[in-house]
Structure 1
């Protein structure tokens, strides 16, 4: 019986991560976003899930800022989360999110933002109600936030430049 493990991503994982992203989303946009975030140094946390020595899941959190009244508050953006389609429903995505949240909290992060399926991300404590006060190009019911401490509830969300390239594409 094999055992799934989660670890920090390394430079050696780049091609495997690219393939997981492309397979999970059926397109290259998310893989390109990951590459741009990594190359620009905006990655806060990046993890992979391995099964039998093969990368089958990936999660990335990039630096995001909440700007309000001339101040910037650091936060993180969860994007993307991907699991190889043949491993969907096995709990790998949830394990990646939970492990990432533990590491982020230990590192002192207090606010995470995600644009995703409310039913899925709600299981981890993300809510649109927590994100509703933010000004964002992505503002909709799928924009959700999770706070682990003293974090702003309003202001403008400023994503890493790689996301702006996504909007322009």
Structure 2
């Protein structure tokens, strides 16, 4: 399996992956809206032989309070074709994506996801940091990983996603 940056010719496969993985077109449409908006993204695909079987996306978010503004990245969506799930494709995408975020100079990554899955990659709940999500989500489902130790020292506030996420 090869993890590589998404290329323009992968767009159809990425759309199919996200629709199949989530059982609905919402996430595929989100990825397309973000592309059309020209958003700075880290977008990777997993390739087996010549087939694209998985996709992960990281987009910018901000942590805002009355006193501060902190830039970060958010993971999501991550999708794997159903026939390739539970074979390590998603984990490989997450690990490669976090590494790519760090190499690009990003210090933290947030995720809204399953609290029994993401901690294996270093994610932990945001609540102890005094950080919350702009969306009404369970505390345990909103997590963060510091790619640089201490990056969240003295950072508190609400995480705001790109407006394109409001339509999902």
Q: TM-score, normalised by structure 1?
A: 0.90
1:79-158 map, 5 Å: 79-129=76-126, 133-135=130-132, 136-140=134-138, 141-149=140-148, 150-151=151-152, 153-158=155-160
1:22-68 deviations in Å (ceiling 9; x for gaps): 11111101111111112112242000000111110000001101112
Runs of 4+ in 1 over 4 A off after TM superposition: 129-132
- 1:77 to 2:74 alignment: yes
Paired residue total: 163
| RMSD across aligned positions (CA) | 1.6
User: 2: CA distance between counterparts of 1:10 and 1:131?
Assistant: 38
TM-score, with length taken from structure 2: 0.90
Give ranges in structure 2 of 5+ residues lacking alignment.
none
Give the secondary-structure state (helix, strand or coil) at the position aligned to 2:145: strand
